[in-house]
Each structure stands twice: as structure tokens, then as C-alpha cells.
Chain A
């Protein structure tokens, strides 16, 4: 009896069941969360005594005066930010692939991606606000502004600063995705060939490489699009306020003390989902149209494509983005050690660590919950992903393209559309505001990124090392621990760092599932961002940026220490 039971258990936890288990871990909550958002949107929310189905919520939603401009702000900023980021990253790669400036840009991608977007948005606000560092650096001597000019740069009604904030984060991400696609598609040879046929760099790249790699970067683009259309934290910090973007409006309704707003919020969350689906669909149609229209252009023989303008524009724009990025980090650092920094001064006049000292208790508490949630969720994610990939290796079959869609699925569903449902479910299950719910909820977003970062190195590892070990009489388990994992130490640690960075950046999951009991550096920083107290905001934003950076630095340095006498495994 006991034996039977334990063999059942071992089947349950065997390698074969891990892929299904993993899918359930992150797809079920998303689907269940969506469903629990759909029901209230149609009037079913027993908590507030509504159990009959109706479309009242929708009528109220569409009658809401703020809706049209909120919708417009979301759609326009989302599309423009994605479009510009894509054009910029594509044209930069097209014009500069293989050059030294290209290498430099590539090296800086990891640290940029490590920084949580809300920290970046906060830094950007400190930089470009009317009283920000940029104005200070040129006032009053160049501008004559003795006091900050009275224009709304942050929270501007056109969403321009929101678009800029999104671009700083998304251009590097798309660059990274393009680079990964290039490595897999013999792009170098294609490019060389096109150049021997007399094509200039930009034309050669657009005509011979882009059509091949586009299908590999399609899903990342959709993920970026979905993110931009529905982002909450950046929109809270930089986006328009009266009215805000749709996702922020929905969040407000969810948080409204008047519980009857919950059903309108649910309907709004669903509308947000429909917007994302609709825009992705339109984008997809546009892709088809452009592909169709460009068919003759591809083979018409023109061998240059605005070469010089593209080269100059892409480099200037990308440099600006990098400068804004590093300026944002620097200005956060300055503010966090500022006691007194009056308006037109270029630097603080009195420095101090009082912002740190006075908040030390709360900083420690939010840092430790950030660390705990981030490390545990990314560690679980790495274990699950390794088990899935090892199962693939042993069964000799790798998951198809369909699996990739599943992985991207939670990244394309707006967080605000299903997290309310997840919240309802955790309350029902009695695990709301628990560590379990927090870590699980972060895992939903950590898993896809860990999977994406670990898949290629894992699949590409030369299996003959394992075969050699087996042929020497070593068991598969021992070969896995002694050969497979140590040889993959570098990508494993890197995946862990990525997972951690993703977890640190989460705002909405902590807010919805934490039930107010959990505060991470990110929730504190975003919630404080409206306060206007730059010194305190800066302290949280800086720590928020530092933790993932430290994690990445460790992930890069540790293998170099461990393998200091192993040339083949040392970093380049």
C-alpha cells in the first residue's frame, strides 16, 4: 500500500509531468483570474451582493466622461512608443551592425534591462520636469528662467513623457531580441553576400536580414505592445492625469472606497484586454500589408536606403536614450543624498544621508520582502524551467512553436485585466496577503522571462558530454549534476538574475495580491512618486535599481571566480 502510494507520488513529481505542472502553475491563475474578472464585469460579484447578470457595468463604463480620453491616451501612447522603439532599434542595428559603437550598445543592454522601469520613470521625471536637472543645468544663464517654467512636462496631456519613458525601457529590450534573432539566422553571411552584390549597409540589412528575423521578433513586439498599452506604474509616474490612461483609470475604480465601482472596474479591465487584442490584431494586419507591398520593392534592385540619414538619426536617438537612462540613474543618486537643492543650482548645496537614516526601518522591511519574493520566485522558476528543458533533452523532443505562444501568453494579457480576478481567487482560497500568494503571483511573470533566457543555452549544449559521461558508467542523475549544471552555470545564474529583476519590477501584482500587507521597494517608490518629496522617492528608487544591478553583477562575476582557472568557461 505504502509502496503503491510512493510510486504514485514519484510519477506525480517525475520529470515527465513537469512541463504540464509548469504550464498549470502559470496559465491556470491567469485564466482563472481572467474569468473572475469577466464575471463581475457582467454584474456577478457576490461580495457586494450582486449575483444577477446584467450589462449595467458596461453601460456605466461607456457613459463615464473620462473614458474616451483615457482610451485615446492609452492607445496613442502605446502604439507610438512601440512603433518608435521598434523603428529605432531596427534602424540602429541596420546601420551599425558589426561596428564598435554597436558592441558598446550591446554591452550596456543587460544593466539597462536590469533596472526596474518604475525606477527609470522616476529618474526621468527628475530629469525632464520643469524644475528637473536638465532645466537646472541650463538655467538661468541660457534660458533666463529664475523659477521653473510653468509647463506640464511630466503628466502632460499628450502622454509624451510617458512615451519617452516607455521608449527608454523598450528600445533596449527590442535590441536584445533582435540580437538574439540575428545570432540564430546566419545574418552575418546574408549581410556579407548582399554587400558583395553592391548593397549599402542599411538597404542590405532591411532587404536581406529583416524579412528573415521578423517572425522571430514578432512575439517580443506584441509583448512590448501589450505592455505599453496597459502599463500602470510608468503611467502613474509620467502619464497624463486628468484623465489618466485606461489602465490607471481602471486601477482607480478598483481602489475606490465605493464598492459599486468594482463592476465598472472589471468591465474596464476587460475593455483593456479587448483593446490589447484589437491593437495586436491591427498590428498583425499591418505587418501583412507591409510585407505584401514591399515584395516588389525587395527585388527592385535599389541598393541604398537613406543610408546617411538613417545612420546619423539612429545613432543620435539611441545615444540620447542611453544618456537619458544614465542621467536618470545619476539624478536619483544625487537626490537620495540631498539635504538642500534649490531650483536653479546645478548640484545640491547641502548633502546628507538623512533620507536614508530616517527611512532605514521601512527601507529594510521593503528591501527584505523584495529580496525574499524575488529570490524565491526566480529560484523556483529556474528549477521548473530546468526540469522542463531536461525533460526535453531526455525525451529527445523539444517543445514546438506553440509552446512559445503559451510562454508569451501571460506577457500579452494586461496585468490589470486578470490580477483583480486573481485577488478575488486568493481571498476565496484564504491565501490572500500571504507569502505563498505573493511568490506565486510574481512567479507568473518571472517564469516566462527565465524560460526565454535559459532555453537557447540549454538546448544548444553539446549532449555528447553527457553521452561520454554515461558511457563511462555514470548515472544520468550524476551526469546532470556534475556535468550538465556546472557547464551551464553562467546561463543559469543569468536566468536567475533576470527572474529577480523581473520580480523586483512588479508593481501591480504586489499591490493586488499583497492586500496592503506587503510593500516592496517598487510599490513604495511608485506610491511615493505622487508625493513630490524627491529626496525620499530617490532613496527607494535607487535601492530598487541597485538590487537587480547587484544581482546581475554577481551573476556575471561568480562564474569568473569559480572558473578562474578554466579558460574555456571564462567570460569574454
Chain B
């Protein structure tokens, strides 16, 4: 697999980069406490890693930040982008990009349609939207795949398209829920690099959840153990 080192960069005019702040988060599931007093700041372009065994509430924390927490959880504390409080906003108004273990490309849409689905509605005009899509694919070295069925691509290609889709939606922060754990070792290192490069180039505060020390090391950033909360 050829992966060049070019990077797709959203020339976003919509907002200046902001930091992600978690203040005194306390999460419990049906009365049982998962963590408490979790406070943390992530600067634009910074990648912070959260580590911990399964079941410690890592994924639930990401769900809490993105606003997709299931109903039987209860959350206290605040999630902020700079000064802007997100805590009571529905997920679609938070603009926090999520990447999961699976690429979750929409199976009924082509690659182009998947990417187009991510572009905000305020980007008007078919021309401009298609231009954005081809630029993203170009910069990621995937330009020939636009009209393809996602199911016909390799795992690595799909994973990169999922990243582009998220970036095209112009998120203000990025959450990574073990997005590398399903890939084999070699692909994993390169894809990791791809994701981190894009997160930094787009100035996104990024939170990575993993149980793999390798992933954590490779960010070169702060590593936080969930068991500390």
C-alpha cells in the first residue's frame, strides 16, 4: 500500500482553533461510579492519550464528550471548547469528530457520497463541494477511489476515507476510540501516522483512547491513566 506523506488540510474559515476542556467530569452508570473529578485540557493540535483496561469507562468518556452517551449513564461536570460550554448541546451541535475501531463508512453510499455527507451545509454549491471532496482524496493519495463502493476497498483505504469524512465535516475537536486496534501491525503504524498528521495539520485538539502502549507512545504527547480518576 502506498501512502504518501501529503496531508489534507481544511482551510477552514469558520472558526479559529480552540482547546478542548473537560472540567470535573463525573460519570456513573445506573448509580455505579465509573470515574470522578476528571479534568483535562487539550490544546489545538495536541494529542492526549487516555489509557486503561476495558470497562473503565474510556469509551463512555468519549461518548460523554461527543454527546452520544446512552440514557442510563449520568454525567456531571462540563465539556468546553475554549469558553463555549457544550455540555447541554445535542451531538449534532457540538462538532466533535469521532473515529471508531470500525471505519463505519455508510455502506449504501459511494466514497464520494460518504465524503459529501460530511461536508457542512453552509458550504454551498455543488461545484465547491465536489472540489473539496477531490482535494481531500487527492491529498490523501486516494484520488482514483471517489466513485468506488466502500466495500470494495482495502481496510487501510477505508480507514483513511473515514478520517477524511470526519475532517470534511469541519470538527472542532477529534475523538479517537481505539481506531487502530483492528489493523495489522505494519498498516497500523502508517495509519496512526496518517491520523496524527491530519489532526495536527488541522489544529484539532485530539483525545485518543487505547489500551496499546505503542499507540500511546507514538503520539509523543501526554498519557493519562484512567485509573487515576
List residues of chain A with CB under 8 Å of any chain B CB.
Answer: 395-397, 462, 464-465, 467-476, 479, 482-483, 486-487, 489, 563, 565-569
Contact = CB atoms under 8 A, between A and B. Distances in A.
A471 B117 contact: no
Nearest to B110: A565
8 contacts: A467-B98, A468-B98, A468-B100, A470-B66, A472-B165, A565-B149, A566-B107, A568-B150
Contact of A486 (B92, B108, B150): B108
Contact of B72 (A396, A464, A486): A396
A133 B5 CA distance: 76
Q: Which 7 A-B pairs have the closest CB atoms?
A: A396-B71, A472-B169, A567-B151, A568-B107, A470-B91, A568-B151, A471-B98
Interface in B164-210: 165-166, 169-171
Nearest to A563: B108
Given A467-B98, A470-B91, A471-B171, 9 more contacts: A470-B68, A472-B97, A472-B118, A475-B92, A487-B108, A489-B108, A565-B110, A566-B108, A567-B152
B106 interface: yes
B112 to A, nearest CB: 12
Q: What band does the interface of chain B fall in when counting residues whose beta carbon is under 8 Å from A?
A: 35 or more
B92 A474 contact: yes
Interface string B35-53: 0000000000000000000
Contacts of B66: 467, 470-471
Contacts of A397: 71
Counting chain A CB atoms within 10 Å of each CB, which of B70, B98, B150 scores highest? Answer: B98
B93 to A, nearest CB: 7
B104 to A, nearest CB: 5
A180 B206 CA distance: 43
A469 to B, nearest CB: 7
Contacts of B117: 469, 472, 474, 482
Counting chain B CB atoms within 10 Å of each CB, which of A489, A563, A568 scores highest? Answer: A568
B61 interface: no
B151 A471 contact: no
Contact of B97 (A471, A476, A479, A568): A471
Counting chain B CB atoms within 10 Å of each CB, which of A397, A465, A566 scores highest? Answer: A566
Interface string B59-94: 000010011101110000000000000000011111
A390 to B, nearest CB: 15
B220 interface: no
Contacts of B151: 566-568
B96 interface: yes
Given A467-B66, A565-B149, A566-B149, A472 B166 contact: yes
A351 B170 CA distance: 70
Nearest to B177: A464
Nearest to B96: A471
B26 interface: no
Given A396-B72, A565-B149, A567-B152, A471 B91 contact: yes
Contacts of A473: 92-93, 95, 120, 169-170
A569 B152 CA distance: 12
A467 B91 contact: yes
B92 A476 contact: yes
Nearest to A471: B98
B14 to A, nearest CB: 11
Contacts of B169: 471-473
Nearest to B118: A472
B104 A464 contact: yes
Counting chain A CB atoms within 10 Å of each CB, which of B71, B96, B106, B152 scores highest? Answer: B106
B147 to A, nearest CB: 9
A569 B91 contact: no
Contacts of A489: 108
Contacts of A470: 66-68, 90-92
A563 B113 CA distance: 14
A224 B100 CA distance: 44
Interface string B108-126: 1010000001101000000
Interface string B129-155: 000000000000000000001111000
A469 B118 CA distance: 8
B100 to A, nearest CB: 6
A104 to B, nearest CB: 28
A395 B71 contact: yes
Nearest to A570: B151
A487 B63 CA distance: 23
Contacts of B108: 486-487, 489, 563, 566, 569
A468 B97 CA distance: 8
Nearest to B69: A396
Nearest to B99: A468
Contacts of B95: 471, 473
B68 A396 contact: no
Counting chain A CB atoms within 10 Å of each CB, which of B92, B104, B149, B152 scores highest? Answer: B92
A482 B107 CA distance: 12
Nearest to A475: B92
A288 to B, nearest CB: 34
Counting chain B CB atoms within 10 Å of each CB, which of A396, A465, A473 scores highest? Answer: A473
Given A472-B97, A487-B108, A566-B149, A467 B68 contact: yes
B68 A483 contact: no
A465 to B, nearest CB: 6
A471 B94 contact: yes
Nearest to A565: B149
A467 B98 CA distance: 8
Contacts of B100: 464, 468
B70 A396 contact: yes
A565 B68 CA distance: 32
Counting chain A CB atoms within 10 Å of each CB, which of B67, B118, B120, B170 scores highest? Answer: B118
A468 B166 CA distance: 8
A469 B97 CA distance: 9
A467 B64 CA distance: 12
